[in-house]
Amino acid sequence: MTATPGLTASPLATADLLRSAFRRHAAGVAVITARGEAGPVGFTATSLTSVSTAPPLLSFGIGTGSSSWPVVSEAEYVGVHVLGEHQEDLAATFARSGADRFAEPTAWRDGPEGVPVLDDVLAWLVCRIVGRVPAGDHRVVLAEVLLGDPEGAGRPLLYHQGRYNGLRD
């Protein structure tokens, strides 16, 4: 068995180490939306994960310092949107602090359970939140999928090395 190079001189675990390692991990890009008393909120997430098929559960992470957290912390329902490679601008809008995320040119509508549903995505789901698990400065939100549409056209948007990318053949 060959030792991993640098194993004995590994850097100590830090936020920078974690970020650097995960820059090398390509992740799909999603936007999570919810409805609050003051209107819709949403944010870009690369932490979307399928958890279970029976019942259908998914999870995503959200920082407790996020402007969307106060609404998500109280919401019963969320929208989950899988973005296509043609939606890099949409991903950037929902990732930008202080942006009016639901203003033009964002195309959306009120969906089931009042959840904001984005147009022209690869897939959208309406989910009922079933748990919020503390995880450092984040919460891992567990949500049960209630309904949705997985029939959008196109290829997925990915996030890798700090940039949005598409799949290559």
Euclidean distance between CA atoms 139 and 128, whole angstroms: 16
Quick: pLDDT tens for 13-25: 888 888 888 888 8
Q: Which residues contact 78 (CB under 8 A, 6 or more apart)?
A: 32, 33, 34, 72, 115, 126, 127, 129, 141, 143
* Mean pLDDT confidence for 118-123: 98
The vertex-56 CA angle with 156 and 88, nearest 5°, equals 20
* DSSP conformation class of 111: -
Residues 77-99, mean pLDDT to the nearest whole number: 96
* Confidence tier at 10 by pLDDT (50, 70, 90): low
- pTM comes to 0.90
Q: Is the pLDDT of residue 6 over 90?
A: no
Residue among 33, 53, 23 nearest 113 (CA):
33
Mean of pLDDT values over 108-116: 97
Rounded Cα–Cα distance for residues 42 and 78 (Å): 9
Identify the weakest region by mean pLDDT among 5-14, 48-57, 116-125.
Answer: 5-14
- Mean confidence (pLDDT) of the chain: 92
